[in-house]
Amino acid sequence: MNETIESNTSSSANKTAAPCELDVVFETGIRQPKFGVDAKSHLDILSAFERVLSAKNISADPSKNAHYRTGWRSGEGSALAVLFPQTLIQLWGSLKIAVSHNLIIVMQAANTGLTEGSTPSGNNYDRPVVIINTRFLNALHIINEGAQAIGMPGATLYQLQSELIKINRAPHSVIGSSSLGASIVGGIANNSGGALVKRGPAYTELSVYAQIDKHGELILVNHLGIDLGNNPDAIIQTLSDGSFATQGLGQGQRKASDTLYQARVKDIDADTPSRFNADPRRLYESSGCAGKVAVFAVRVDTYPVAEKQASFYIGTNDPGDLYQLRRLLLSKLDDLPEMGEYMHRDMFDVAQKYGKDTFLSVLYLGTKRLPKMLSMKGAVDAYLNKKTWLPEYLSDRLLQGFSRLFPQHLPKRMLQYRQQYEHHLIMKLSGSSVAKGKTILQNYFDNKQSGGFFECTTTEANRAYLHRFAAAGAAIRYHTMHSKDVGDILALDIALKRNESDWVEIFSPDIEQHIEKKLYYGHFFCHVFHQDYILKKGANAHHVKKLMLAQLDQRGAKYPAEHNVGHLYKADDPLRDFYKELDPSNTFNPGIGKMDKNQRNCNCCL
């Protein structure tokens, strides 16, 4: 077993980060075989996994593991087995077996991705596929007196938020997928964004990960900035035990968050987006890896919670008002807004009706139970879908009907603004920006007939943010409930230029003719938008998407902005190069970004 202490170069496509003195890479001597896997050996492979994991932590029955082979919104594929390691040692052992048998590896945590990036896609792979689900590997360590945290691959954002709230700190993300059980590592691996304006994309240069090099050899990289041991097994054992220092930890010049993002957002005249998945600035090893390496641990910054906060609800019929307010607030406020969430009136209506059960579940049961409830719903759906005599989407129809039994759940002033205004923005300010921001709003709307604002009560603010949170699922529910009358649902995730004034989308007739309903919502100050389109019956979704993306290209927009390419978007050249450098043999998550699924650099060709 060879040990290599790194110099001033990095194994990542991003060459800017300086190493930490504790950086180390270990070779294992475990290599992919020269020849492919014979179907007759599948039982031998499963037996090998069983010796490491035990039979109860392996699901090889397609009828029982469909939930893990199916994407959150769309997509599914076949797999030899779904593995559920209970310890990091079992994860390491599973990787060794997968590499030594030349298997495709799909890493998966909560499976909350929206672009099919954490499941297989189809059945046209050249090697057997195993899914390694890491949700049980959820250890979490608060370090450096709460300023940072180390999360294992299954640790969730909600879990981190629950720990940090005890010390008046906050994680990178506190709304959206964080409430669905999304993992910390998943956010890092996909450069996930979020609602918090100051944070930027999830990012770190400090992690431990396993990689397969160009010779097909499994290696372990420790770039966590912590001395964990002098060989791979020792490192994995130390991480598993949590027997490492937690205070006074340095990190060299490596970063544990995107510390430059606030300056980017404030650069309101820039002719480029503030953040998007393929941004080469933020592709670094585990960050943006999209499952092209197996991440064991990440080290991330945490953030102080502002003591003084206030929320404002803004409505207008002139999109130019929101454009001007965005420029005023980002340029005049010393302390950036905490949040700025946009909803179009059509999305407001759909979320009000079709997101009501999600809204009520979180309101009365809390977000802690939501991931388990959604997992149970997925299992129930998988079972019911086998009963051909039952109506389609039975659980959704029951939940939708049940939600109608409850009274109106949205505050009166929000409903009044829905009647008056087409465009809605819920904004949270903190510290000195509360008074200054309120003054900016008052001065702007003093002589305006097109819009207005009000300062929210605590109840109004909580319900406004929860309403916005329910929007994404509501679009899917709407499509489900009207599936007989409409075509496909097409979901885009885009980043507009920071100086884009015409931010409201206007389609040409050749696109508009195919659309039944347009649903817009997003992170307004970052100029990142989620745009869900319900197509008309018979519309060709692939053709319509191609036309839409061509129009976005003309506008200088980037996509996807924060959900990553998965199997739905074509990766740009810099992103393709990054994936190839991380995974030269194309063993981890092949096919993402519309790339080739076949093996590269196999031993028989070297």
Of 498, 525, 113, the closest CA to residue 279 belongs to: 498
- 125 contacts: CB under 8 Å, gap ≥ 6: 77, 104, 590, 591, 597
pLDDT band at 194 (very low <50, low <70, confident <90, very high): confident
* Residue 464 CA: distances (Å) to CA of 91, 200, 312, 407, 568: 41, 22, 10, 16, 31
Task: Tell me how far apart the alpha carbons of residues 21 and 5 are, in angstroms, rounded to a whole number.
Answer: 9
Of 410, 424, 418, the closest CA to residue 462 belongs to: 410
Task: Tell me how far apart the alpha carbons of residues 453 and 329 are, in angstroms, rounded to a whole number.
Answer: 14
pLDDT at 500: 97
Tens digit of each residue's pLDDT (9 = 90 or more) over 292-342: 999 999 999 999 998 899 999 999 999 999 999 999 999 999 999 999 999
Residue percentage of the chain with pLDDT more than 70: 92
Lowest mean pLDDT among 214-228, 379-393, 438-452: 379-393
Tens digit of each residue's pLDDT (9 = 90 or more) over 105-152: 999 998 878 889 999 999 999 999 999 999 999 999 999 999 999 999
Bridge partners of 532, per DSSP, are 491, 519
Q: What is the dihedral of CA 185, 190, 193, 198, to 10 degrees?
A: 60
pLDDT at 289: 97
Whether 272 has a binding-site annotation, put simply, is no
pLDDT band at 5 (very low <50, low <70, confident <90, very high): very low
Mean pLDDT across the stretch 578-595?
97
pLDDT of 96 higher than 80: yes
Mean pLDDT across the stretch 22-43?
80
pLDDT of 1 higher than 90: no
pLDDT band at 239 (very low <50, low <70, confident <90, very high): very high
Task: Tell me how far apart the alpha carbons of residues 358 and 559 are, in angstroms, rounded to a whole number.
Answer: 28
Domain boundaries, the chain: 1-304, 309-484
Tens digit of each residue's pLDDT (9 = 90 or more) over 246-266: 999 999 999 999 999 999 999
Class of domain 309-484: alpha beta
pLDDT of 517 higher than 80: yes
pLDDT of 178 higher than 70: no
Of 34, 39, 32, the closest CA to residue 80 belongs to: 39
Whether 113 has a binding-site annotation, put simply, is yes
pLDDT of 48 higher than 50: yes
pLDDT of 3 higher than 50: no
Amino acid at position 467, single letter: H
Of 558, 426, 431, 445, the closest CA to residue 493 belongs to: 558
Bridge partners of 491, per DSSP, are 532
pLDDT at 376: 75
Task: Tell me how far apart the alpha carbons of residues 201 and 442 are, in angstroms, rounded to a whole number.
Answer: 32
pLDDT at 296: 98
Whether 117 has a binding-site annotation, put simply, is yes
Whether 111 has a binding-site annotation, put simply, is yes
Lowest mean pLDDT among 10-24, 345-359, 445-459: 10-24
pLDDT at 9: 34
Q: pTM, whole model, 2 decimals? A: 0.91
pLDDT of 171 higher than 50: yes
pLDDT of 605 higher than 60: no
Whether 593 has a binding-site annotation, put simply, is no
Confirm if 288 and 578 have CB atoms less than 8 A apart. yes
Residue percentage of the chain with pLDDT more than 90: 77
Whether 176 has a binding-site annotation, put simply, is yes
pLDDT of 83 higher than 50: yes
Tokens of 136: 């049980």
Whether 295 has a binding-site annotation, put simply, is yes
pLDDT at 16: 52
pLDDT at 114: 81
Confirm if 192 and 526 have CB atoms less than 8 A apart. no
Task: Tell me how far apart the alpha carbons of residues 606 and 588 are, in angstroms, rounded to a whole number.
Answer: 19
pLDDT of 606 higher than 60: no
Of 104, 160, 108, 112, the closest CA to residue 134 belongs to: 108
pLDDT of 385 higher than 80: no
Whether 193 has a binding-site annotation, put simply, is yes
Task: Tell me how far apart the alpha carbons of residues 124 and 120 are, in angstroms, rounded to a whole number.
Answer: 10
pLDDT at 390: 79
The dihedral built from the CA positions of residue 467, 472, 473 and 479, taken in this order, carries a sign that is positive
Whether 231 has a binding-site annotation, put simply, is no
1-304 placed in CATH 3.30.465.10: yes
Task: Tell me how far apart the alpha carbons of residues 556 and 273 are, in angstroms, rounded to a whole number.
Answer: 8
pLDDT at 40: 58
Confirm if 545 and 533 have CB atoms less than 8 A apart. no
pLDDT of 372 higher than 60: yes
What does pLDDT average to over the chain? 91
Tens digit of each residue's pLDDT (9 = 90 or more) over 272-292: 999 999 999 999 999 999 999
